[in-house]
Amino acid sequence: MNIRQQAELDLGLILEDETYGFGMSATITNPDGVSAQLIIQSGDVHLLFDPATEVSVNNRTAHASVRISSLASANLGLPRAQPKSNLNPWIFEFQDANGNSRKFTVQEARPDRTLGLVTVILELMREP
């Protein structure tokens, strides 16, 4: 096993540790309607600090990081933004730190194929 393969295995221990780490369960649904429960790492931050101006910026940024091999094993494919509003989007659904369920769609995908990780920038879905 080479070092890149070892790094991807280590990623599984680090990223998907739901017991001792920051891993958390999420339901991921692709545009074809295929869903799977995967362990991800996520963030949802509102109000950021701009160090250049030393001013608080009113902004919400949510993201999720997922192993590409876990997505492939679940037959989901690689997430990407769906620019056409009449087509089904990718959906990421998970709970915040207080147990409130949130549903997001992919705004941007940032795959790291060297390590085997994709980080998606999420956008909160509005319920009809």
* Count of structural domains within the chain: 1
Query: What distance in Å separates the CA atoms of residue 20 and residue 30, rounded to the nearest whole number?
Result: 28
Phi, psi of 9 (to 5 degrees): -65, -40
Q: What is the pTM of this model?
A: 0.85
Helix ranges (DSSP H) in 1-128 = 3-15, 68-73
Mean pLDDT by 10 residues, the chain (128 residues): 87 86 93 96 83 82 94 96 82 91 94 94 83
Which domain does 37 fall in, by range? 3-17+26-124
